[in-house]
Structure 1
């Protein structure tokens, strides 16, 4: 697959001496990939204006939305600890195939890398890591037989939201890894967006909350 990221300018929604909050467009890598053709990414673009910016978490290439970046090594450590201690709360929106029932719930399915089919992940009760996602249905669209859903990952496993929704038999539209060809073709991109992030500021302890409009 040819990597052709959008030329979207990355303008911070929030910036101070400790951290940045930015919006990643769909189709852009969070960090450099393998090969010279995959060096254009969110962190390289941000570092043009903020050379001390460092990654503390990632979004999948197909996912859009909010990312927190640390400014300098000390803030990278502080924010990494906040993520590890689950002090950072993230909300996503997705559009999934079918009518998701019940209207809210919690998915607890352990995940592990599907090594023969990397980067795919899979549910594995023997060796998987505990993974938890809370969800709430926002609305159901009958003509397209799709559901808009709010998602809160309690844990932060790779592809967690995508695999958990597939496990519920409601894969995300546009998902090239976990949806059928027909469901994937229902959208021009992965319909998953990080719409809110909330965390204690690493210097002041005050709650920082940033929202991002859902582009689909």
Structure 2
């Protein structure tokens, strides 16, 4: 075990712990520092601490398993191309939140098998700022996602999502057209394992109610529908499971739609986009954040329109 012990000097009085650590190890990313603090690999006076804690002269910073921390940092390499893409995708920022038009194929929060995620790069996107995740989008869903700029805002927004006060609008292309121009899909959902994979399926006995409003924007060739979706609840894979259940799976979503989800000449990518979020900021200001469609969805719409 490689261990590093530092004693705070007078010159470093009252600075944030994470900033002090970056002075010692400037190559460590914020996300790695945060994870190491949570795991207790970095302690102050042998006690667990938070990145926002202020350090004082005479305190001792102990960093255990330094090789592990450095390897974690280097394994999730700085991805300059993705950082620049995310910077260019910023939709809105103020003292409370940062909103990004998340690209398709990018994971919001990392895990054991995840090489890189937005949460790993947020401190680089906004020059060392620490952001809090308050909701998520699937890897293959594009569109609006917001991050809180401090813990108080995070708690507020998490409660807004929980109490369903955040109005969410998605856009999707589906293989199959609903029988009505608009309506509500109201089926409870449950997670189940089948054929070695976890899926969300309709189960009338499930206590997990799920409600989705839909309306048809346009009907395209190959019986493809362009839909506006408004999920009232926020269940995992809710839109994908609901649309597959009414035999209108999202284009490109083979997990829920099987072969029906694919159309010749159309990209084999999930055609689901978080178009807008409407909510109140902590200062009671109402705000609507909208994200332009992903390039592959726009291209598919044009292809299917031109072939009518």
TM-score normalised by length of structure 1: 0.90
Q: Kindly tell me: are residues 41 and 77 of structure 1, through their superposed partners in 2, closer, same or farther at Cα, counting changes over 3 Å? A: same
Structure 1 residues 165-174 or 123-132, which shifts more?
123-132
In 1: Cα distance, 2:251 partner to 2:274 partner: 15
* 3-state DSSP of counterpart to 2:157: helix
Partner of 1:119: 198
Offset of residue 184 of structure 1: 3.4
Offset of residue 128 of structure 1: 4.2
Offset of residue 47 of structure 1: 2.4
In 2: Cα distance, 1:95 partner to 1:65 partner: 14
Offset of residue 181 of structure 1: 2.4
Q: Kindly tell me: are residues 126 and 108 of structure 1, through their superposed partners in 2, closer, same or farther at Cα, counting changes over 3 Å? A: same
Partner of 2:287: 208
RMSD over equivalenced CA pairs, Å? 1.8
> Which deviations, in whole Å up to 9, do the C-alpha atoms of 1:150-192 show, x marking residues without a partner?
0000000000000000011000000031012242364331000
Structure 1 residues 79-88 or 148-157, which shifts more?
79-88
In 1: Cα distance, 2:175 partner to 2:289 partner: 28
Matches within 5 A, 1:60-139: 60-116=138-194, 117-139=196-218
In 1: Cα distance, 2:267 partner to 2:249 partner: 12
Contact 2:172/2:250 (8 A) holds in 1: yes
Partner of 1:195: 275
* 3-state DSSP of counterpart to 1:193: strand
Contact 2:101/2:144 (8 A) holds in 1: yes
More helix by share: 2
Matches within 5 A, 1:146-185: 146-184=224-262
In 1: Cα distance, 2:216 partner to 2:133 partner: 31
In 2: Cα distance, 1:118 partner to 1:70 partner: 32
Partner of 1:40: 116
Matches within 5 A, 1:3-22: 7=82, 9-11=85-87, 12-22=90-100
In 2: Cα distance, 1:78 partner to 1:52 partner: 17
TM-score normalised by length of structure 2: 0.64
Offset of residue 118 of structure 1: 4.0
The structure showing larger relative contact order (alpha-carbon pairs under 8 Å, at least 6 residues apart) is 1
In 2: Cα distance, 1:81 partner to 1:164 partner: 25
In 1: Cα distance, 2:157 partner to 2:273 partner: 21
* 3-state DSSP of counterpart to 2:85: coil
Contact 2:175/2:262 (8 A) holds in 1: no
Q: Kindly tell me: are residues 83 and 19 of structure 1, through their superposed partners in 2, closer, same or farther at Cα, counting changes over 3 Å? A: same
In 1: Cα distance, 2:210 partner to 2:179 partner: 20
In 2: Cα distance, 1:161 partner to 1:138 partner: 17
Q: Which runs of 4+ in 1 moved over 4 A?
A: none
> Which deviations, in whole Å up to 9, do the C-alpha atoms of 1:101-127 show, x marking residues without a partner?
200000110011113454311111112
